[in-house]
Amino acid sequence: MMKLFGFSKKEKISVDKLAKLYANTLFEVVDNGFPEIIGFVNDNRKFEESPNLKTEDVKWFLMIIFAANNHRLSEFFNDDVVDVLHNSCTQEVICFLAEDEEEVVRDMIVDYESFFAEQFAESSKLEKAMARSIFIKYNLNDYQGKLLKNQNEPNPVFLQELANLLSHFVWNWGDFLSKYKVV
């Protein structure tokens, strides 16, 4: 990027290209990162027994990552761009989950977005809401010690460690928009 007299020349990217890049990058991050999350959860000493998550359990994780990232779009873009990015992500998820009917996947996306919004409202921090969402969707309470299990609350240390790991699954719009202009 060239700065001259305080002006910078940003590379232009169309909304359609950005939508493809956004969706495909999130899929790639989920694909590469989910095994790390599985290892962290399954080997975590905060649980009395391993939850035994498997790579086939990626669907819920994928939905949470997309819901969390889509939750932030309106902070950076106007409604038209948000709609295009959201619709593109929806189409990509529908293609990825081709074994399910399209309407079922659309309903699932809406449900996960509502569920994530509830978790975000409780925690008001994106990564913590993601961690709580994973804790709930994967029924991780079932593997905790008796005290926390009875309280139906995640171990706060586990939750923070998971939230720290999940920060790697959040699209860095600030960095991206410092280099690109969406047209």
The answer to whether the beta carbons of residues 165 and 36 sit under 8 Å apart is yes
| pLDDT (tens digit per residue) in 21-31 | 998 899 999 99
- The beta-strand segments (E) located in 10-161 are 11-13
Asked if residues 179 and 10 have their Cβ atoms less than 8 Å apart, the reply is yes
Q: What is the pLDDT of residue 8?
A: 63
What tokens were used for 68? Answer: 């969390």
Question: Residue 127: what pLDDT?
Answer: 97
Which residue matches tokens 């909304």?
15
Give residue for tokens 């309280």.
151
- Model pTM? 0.89
Distances (CA, A) of 103 to 29, 64, 67: 25, 18, 17
Q: How many CB atoms lie within 10 A of CB 4?
A: 7
Model confidence at 1, pLDDT cuts 50, 70, 90, reads very low
Q: What's the CA gap between 79 and 152, in Å, rounded?
A: 37
* Nearest-angstrom CA–CA distance, 73 and 92: 17
Cα separation, 135 vs 165, in Å, equals 14
**How large is the average pLDDT for residues 102-106?**
89
Instruction: Give the mean pLDDT of 67-90.
Output: 91
% of the chain surpassing 70 pLDDT = 96
Q: How confident is the model at residue 101 (pLDDT cuts 50, 70, 90)?
A: confident
For all residues of the chain together, what is the average pLDDT?
90
Tell me the per-residue pLDDT of 119-130, one tens digit each, with 9 for 90 and over. Answer: 999 988 999 999
Q: What are phi and psi of 66, to 5 degrees?
A: -65, -45
Indicate whether 134 pLDDT > 60: yes
Q: Determine the average pLDDT of the residues in 71-98.
A: 88
Residue 4 DSSP label: E
Q: Is the pLDDT score of 158 beyond 80?
A: yes
Confidence class for position 5, pLDDT limits 50, 70, 90:
low
106 touches 94 (CB < 8 A):
yes
Res. 94 pLDDT band, cuts 50 70 90 = confident
